[in-house]
């Protein structure tokens, strides 16, 4: 016999079921269209990654999972070319890993310099402000990059504790050169943060050699893995600053003095890691190691150049100068008189191909085309160019 609830609790009468019987029976198995994702992310996950994602779960403190965590860290160090002890996938999307870099090394009132040349530089500014940093910014037009001389002048003027740069600006398709920037930051006793969201796994990147102190990325772009586990790395220099802060990191979930103990030798419980997402990112990183970084970088460059040539053959203009273009993401200017969103909608609806529209200042002015990880293949380039040619012709565009 089921006991009645105590009198002090009221039980509302059920007057209408939320889902009636007919609707309940009409909800069938989930199905999604077969999209080719050639936008700014996500990219299509590699079949081996999807297979890994579907493996049976174990506990987040199971010996088999703990052993796999070590493999993930070693593979991630290879992908980033670093020996940093704290090199982990943050449990969350790339924005969580972005926030982790700021939360752990900035203290209220400290000067943080942000080099902003697009949408995600602006996001770094916003995050740093929320942690009550004294945020200073230098800016470039969207699609351009900073020179070493400009960065030196800014460091000389602002004397920041931390400087953040976007290596691969997803909103513009521009690649900020980082060689020499780490040395410059050490000269001014400043930590260097690098956004590698659209470069890891597709663009040459050397965390240790370039003197990057903190870097973050995501799983769904160059790694060709679903979103939800985001690479993060932290140098000994950065961890020393973290260790010396007078108070606690203001973000418990992303506090690397705590999370690091779960991923470190102690394997101390901090939170329940997304088990299957870690399976997936482990497999994605294994595929990078199997291909080899140099081969992977060359593949991305070759396919990007095939795309650039094809777009120019269509009479289209690319937004970024060639020497600063990302091989993972290309911005192409929308021709006069063409409705940018109508073109992307037709590509999606008629051809199951996704490309991205412009973001922020470039909204309606460019399309963003991604060739990342598993999707960086010549057959995808040829398919997209053929479909884009037909859609543009239907929109009245003439070369």
Does residue 226 surpass a pLDDT of 70?
Answer: yes
Better pLDDT: 26 or 22: 26
The two three-digit tokens of residue 19, written as one number: 């889902």
Higher pLDDT, 24 or 250: 250
Q: According to CATH, what is the number of the domain 293-394?
A: 3.90.1150.10
**Dihedral of CA 190/191/195/201: which sign?**
positive
At 27 the pLDDT is 77
At 191, phi and psi to the nearest 5?
Answer: -80, 150
Segment 98-119 shows an average pLDDT of 97
Are 117 and 176 in contact by the 8 Å Cβ rule? The answer is yes
Distance CA 157, CA 250 (A): 28
> In the prediction, which pLDDT does 24 show?
65
Where in the chain are the domains? 47-290, 293-394
Considering only CA atoms, which of 397, 194, 248, 375 is closest in space to residue 311? 397
Q: Which class would CATH give 47-290?
A: alpha beta
Q: Is a pLDDT exceeding 50 seen at residue 128?
A: yes
The residues, any chain, with a CB within 8 Å of residue 102's CB and separated by 6 or more, are: 112, 124, 127, 128, 131, 133, 162, 164, 193
Can you tell me the mean pLDDT for 87-101? 97
Sign of CA dihedral 262, 268, 274, 280: positive
pLDDT, tens digit, for every residue of 170-199? 999 999 999 999 999 999 999 999 999 999
Question: Is residue 144 pLDDT above 60, yes or no?
Answer: yes
pLDDT (average), residues 106-122: 97
**pLDDT tier for residue 399 given thresholds of 50, 70 and 90:** confident
Average pLDDT for 370-377 = 98
pLDDT at 26: 75
Any idea which of 13-22, 276-285, 320-329 has the lowest mean pLDDT?
13-22
Q: Is the pLDDT of residue 239 over 90?
A: yes
Predicted pLDDT of residue 1: 45
Nearest CA-CA partner of 286 in 328, 225, 232: 225
Burial class (CB in 10 A: 0-12, 13-18, 19+), 257: middle
Tokens of 346: 């037709």
pLDDT band of residue 25 (cuts 50, 70, 90) is low
What confidence tier does 9 reach under pLDDT thresholds 50, 70, 90?
very low
- Quick: pLDDT tens for 255-299: 999 999 999 999 999 999 999 999 999 999 999 999 999 999 999
- Tokens representing 288 are 């990078």
d(CA 172, CA 160): 26
The pLDDT mean for the chain works out to: 94
Q: Which of 243, 304, 240, 230 is nearest to 274 (CA)?
A: 230
Mean pLDDT of 150-173: 98
Q: Which residues have C-beta within 8 Å of that of residue 68, sequence separation ≥ 6?
A: 278, 279, 282
Residue 15 has pLDDT above 90, yes or no: no
Which two tokens mark 239?
């961890």
Q: Would you state the structure tokens that stand for residue 343, as one six-digit string? A: 């073109």
């Amino acid at each position: 016999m089921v006991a009645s609830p105590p009198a002090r609790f009221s039980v509302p009468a059920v007057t209408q079921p939320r889902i009636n019987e007919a609707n309940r029976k009409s909800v069938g198995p989930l199905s999604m269209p077969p999209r080719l994702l050639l936008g700014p992310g996500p990219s299509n996950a590699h079949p081996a990654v999807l297979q890994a994602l579907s493996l049976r779960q174990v506990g987040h403190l199971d010996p088999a999972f703990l052993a796999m965590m070590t493999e993930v860290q070693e593979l991630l160090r290879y992908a980033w070319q670093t020996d940093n002890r704290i090199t982990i996938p943050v449990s969350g999307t790339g924005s969580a890993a972005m926030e982790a870099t700021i939360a752990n090394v900035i203290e209220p009132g400290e000067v943080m310099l942000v080099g902003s040349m697009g949408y995600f530089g602006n996001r770094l500014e916003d995050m740093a402000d929320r942690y009550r940093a004294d945020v200073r910014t230098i800016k470039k037009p969207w699609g351009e990059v900073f020179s070493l001389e400009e960065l030196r002048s800014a460091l000389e003027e602002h004397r920041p504790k931390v400087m953040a740069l976007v290596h691969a600006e997803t909103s513009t398709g521009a690649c900020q050169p980082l060689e020499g920037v780490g040395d410059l930051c050490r000269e001014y006793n400043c930590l260097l943060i690098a956004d590698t969201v659209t470069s890891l796994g597709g663009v040459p990147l050397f965390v240790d050699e370039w003197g990057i102190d903190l870097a973050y990325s995501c799983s769904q772009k160059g790694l060709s893995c679903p979103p939800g586990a985001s690479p993060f790395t932290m140098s000994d220099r950065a961890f020393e600053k973290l260790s010396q802060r007078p108070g606690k990191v203001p973000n418990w979930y992303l506090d690397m003095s705590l999370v690091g103990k779960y991923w470190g030798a102690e394997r101390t419980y901090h939170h329940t890691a997304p088990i299957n997402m870690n399976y997936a990112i482990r497999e994605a990183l294994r595929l990078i190691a199997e291909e080899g970084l140099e081969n992977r970088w060359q593949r991305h460059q070759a396919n990007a150049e095939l795309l650039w040539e094809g777009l120019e053959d269509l009479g289209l203009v690319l937004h970024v100068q060639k020497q600063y273009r990302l091989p993972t993401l290309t911005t192409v200017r929308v021709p006069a008189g063409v409705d940018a969103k109508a073109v992307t909608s037709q590509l999606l609806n008629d051809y199951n191909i996704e490309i991205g529209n412009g973001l922020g200042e470039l909204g309606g002015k460019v399309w963003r085309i991604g060739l990342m990880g598993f999707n960086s293949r010549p057959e995808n380039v040829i398919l997209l160019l053929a479909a884009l040619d037909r859609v543009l012709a239907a929109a009245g565009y003439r070369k």
